[in-house]
Amino acid sequence: MFRTSDIVLIAVMVSAAALTYKTKREAEEQLAAVQKIQAQIRYEEDTIDLLKADWSLLTQPSRLQKLADVYKSQLGLEPVGARQIGGLDDIPVKPVTIEDLSSQRLGGMADNSGNGPADDKDPVVTGSTVQ
């Protein structure tokens, strides 16, 4: 009849076959998932190519010029004159004075003017400053 070693070897062979089948099935599932993701990537790349082609068509200078001519009255577009082009040095700088800075109160937590959220002056005096 069967010896104990024969039964053990048969059990090992059956478990090895089951493990091989399980591993193969998991690998096939992973391959299917990878192929699905690759198909999605190809679809997205095709969509990007199509959108780039549409953008290229929509931004052609001749098309934009025709649209500007058609809607000129509504858009109020005028050609840029040579005197309208300037440099950064042509922009005047607004002078800032100390009075402008000191008259602005932010009204935050650090504002000790009595106009802050608590409407109280902080009684704590630090250093040599007294308000």
Separation between Cα atoms, residue 122 and residue 111, nearest integer Å: 9
**Are 68 and 75 in contact, with CB atoms under 8 Å apart?**
yes
Could you read off the pLDDT of 19-41 as tens digits, one per residue? 999 999 999 999 999 999 999 99
- Percent of the chain topping pLDDT 70: 75
Question: Under 8 Å CB-to-CB from 115, ≥6 apart: which residues?
Answer: 105, 107
pTM: 0.47
Examine the pLDDT at 97 and tell me if it is beyond 80. Answer: no
Residue type, 18: A
Q: Is the dihedral of CA 25, 29, 30, 34 positive or negative?
A: positive
Q: How far is CA 44 from the centre of its chain?
A: 18
* Predicted pLDDT at 98: 74
Residue with the bigger pLDDT between 46 and 69: it is 46
